[in-house]
Structure 1
Amino acid sequence: MALRPNPTLRQRRVGTELRRMREQAGLGGNQLARELGIHAAQVTQMETGKSGISVERLRTIAAACLCGNQPLIDALADMVSERGKGWWEKYRGTLSTDFLEIAELEANAHSISTWATTYVPGLQQTEDYAAAMFSRFTPSPPSHDLDARTSFRMQRKEAVRHGKTPYASFIHEAALRMQFGGPRVLADQLNHLVDDSLAGRISVRVVPFDLDTFPGGGENIMFIEGPVPELATLQMDTAMGSMYFDAQPSLTRHRDVFARLNSVALSEPESREFIRSIEYEMRGKYA
């Protein structure tokens, strides 16, 4: 079987979980290779996602590593059985891998939570707001790249909005006031957030400036729950692009962040009223 030159995020995640199984069992790569009757290089290839793996081999590895976490094993078996390509693949070669991997995460999520501190989450952006966001980069992307990024973001949004994945959005007041595209674009964006909340598919809750807490760091983050807790993923926006975290201590810490947000954020009705007040303020700037 030919090696994958560019394994996807989920293919790499299967490999990561296989490595964790092996390490928790106290086995080296050479030891596991002997147990399986294969070369040590093949273990490395499986653990980096460069080599595919059958369900049978997955279960053999789990048994060799004395892994008794059957829900995790079954969830990984489902992942290695996946066939077909997602809608985002048509953008491969046009957009960077960062874009595609976020869409892949969202498509397989069992629930999504976002914490936005500097701008409205991508999954809730209007087309004008998204275009203004992408235009702010220096140097500015060429028009065809800007159009592709914006179109991709709108397709991501629609995929989540028309799916069945629960989505909880926590937004800091700072993100609600950042005027990407100017007051008119922001006012329309805020109106769109209220519509999202009223539709009942997305929970939108605000953390205002006057709250005496700021859970977590200052980055925009997305927490993706998988079929089992061990397969959750944290995605963080940074100036250098997206970063992904799947170590259990990091997942536990950020589950706590969202628990704290849930306890301190305004209720959904209060949040809608708060967002409306800023919208009216923005509309007053160009009335």
Structure 2
Amino acid sequence: MRRRRLPPKRHLTARRLRLGAELRKLREATGMKAREAATLLGADAVQMSQIESGVAGVSAERVRRLAGHYACTDEALIEALIAMATDRTRGWWEEYRGPLPPVFADVAEVEHHATFLREVVITHVPGLLQTADYARAVYTYMVPGLPERELTPRVEHRMERRAVIEGAKPTPYETLIHEFALRIRVADRQASRAQLQQILDKIEQGHATVRIIPTDQDGFAGAGASMMYTGGPLPRLDTGLRDAPTGTAFIDAEPQLAQLRTLFRKVEKATLDPVASRDFIHRLTKEM
């Protein structure tokens, strides 16, 4: 008897896409064709394609059966994939699907499920540390003519993202910020001073570990190093995020993740330690 197919997901979220990608990686590691895996699952090639592309959901039973067919014995990985498949969390970010492009909700969802967050920023203060005035100034400048009905939800979304480092169970967050980003006045002097104070407050409250890359640092050629690295339940389920010409790129290939890990460590060597960084921001605040 053929099993009833789970209905296609309404939104192709980054989390669903990642689940499908991981199932595809397991299959490809065995050299098995998609149609062969579909037959073993009692499905057809179309359904298998939908599962691996994130279009269709997949049950915990089927994830475990697929893992068995693929000779995967990594129980921790299997359980992590099952958790992704059965997660029914409807977070605050879902309210922004529709009013904002899907990537806004996808970024927030990835952050929500992360075990840790590491970020490198060169030209702007990290979104997780921005004040509303700073965020508004950035969006206004970057998207000229953006109507208020689209500008306001962008700013509100950015403010709500901070819950991941400020909530009852804050996610460990470390960011490397170039001095250049702190000195740029995206609005006016008052807004810049308030933004610096916001960063200091988050440091004092334990919400962020901040390291500054000073402009007089020799041997730093990382002007294009901006990125976010989010920890998964297992290292192979980590996710990298980088801005691309077509928008935010979500990175899950191990060679690329390894490059991002190396990049973070390399940039970190050019930073002041957290205490010196805090003192640096204090001095800069007085200069404003």
The answer to whether TM tops 0.5 is: yes
Deviation, 1:209, is 1.2
User: Deviations 1:72-101 (Å, cap 9, x if unpaired)?
Assistant: 111111111111311111111111111101
Select 1:49's aligned residue among 48, 54, 59.
54
Which one-letter code corresponds to 1:271 in the other structure? S
Quick check: 2:38–2:44 contact (8 Å CA) kept in 1?
A: yes
Tell me, what secondary structure is at the counterpart of 1:18?
A: helix
Identity of aligned residues (%): 37
* Kept in 2: contact 1:169–1:205 (CA 8 A): yes
Residue 118 of structure 2 corresponds to residue 113 of structure 1: yes
Quick one: distance in 2 between partners of 1:96 and 1:64?
Answer: 37
Q: Distance in 1 between matches of 2:221 and 2:49?
A: 38
Structure 2: runs of 5 or more not aligned: 1-5
Which residue of structure 1 lines up, in the alignment, with residue 269 of structure 2?
A: 263
Tell me, in whole angstroms, the C-alpha distance in 2 between the residues paired with 1:125 and 1:38.
Answer: 48
Q: 1:224 aligns with which of 226, 230, 246?
A: 230
* Distance in 2, Cα, partners of 1:9 & 1:217: 27
Comparing 232-241 with 151-160, greater Cα deviation is found at 232-241
CA contact (8 A) 1:58 1:77 kept: yes
The answer as to 2:86 corresponding to 1:81 is yes
* 2:33 equivalent to 1:28: yes
Judge conservation of contact 1:127–1:150 (CA < 8 Å) in 2: yes
The question of whether the paired residues in 2 share the 8 Å contact of 1:113 and 1:222 is answered with yes
Mapping 1:157-196, distance limit 5 Å = 157-162=162-167, 163-196=169-202
Letter in 2 for 1:276: H
Q: CA deviation at 1:50?
A: 0.8
Q: Which residue of 2 aligns with 1:123?
A: 128
Moved more, 19-28 or 60-69: 60-69
Amino acid corresponding to residue 42 of structure 2 in structure 1: G
Q: What residue number does 2:43 align with?
A: 38
For residue 123 of structure 1, what is the amino acid of its counterpart? Answer: L
Correspondence for 2:239 = 233
Unaligned 5+ residue runs, structure 1?
283-287
Q: Which moved more, 1:56-65 or 1:68-77?
A: 68-77
CA contact (8 A) 1:106 1:160 kept: no
| Contact map agreement 2:225 2:263 (CA 8 A) in 1 | no
Asked whether 1:249 is paired with 2:255, we answer yes
TM-score by length of 2: 0.93
1:205 aligns with 2:211: yes
Aligned with residue 19 of structure 1, among 4, 24, 37: 24
The reply on whether 1:141 has 2:146 as its aligned counterpart is yes
The secondary structure found in structure 2 opposite 1:242 is strand
Distance of 1:189 and 1:65 partners within structure 2: 51
Distance 1:115 1:136, change over 3 A: same
Cα distance change, pair 16–186 in 1 and its aligned pair in 2 (3 A):
same
Query: How many positions carry a matched residue from both structures?
Result: 282
Contact 1:117 1:174 in 2 (8 A): yes
State the superposition RMSD in angstroms: 1.6
Q: CA deviation at 1:5?
A: 4.1
CA distance in 2, matches of 1:35, 1:26: 14
Structure 1 window deviating more from structure 2 (208-217 vs 134-143): it is 208-217
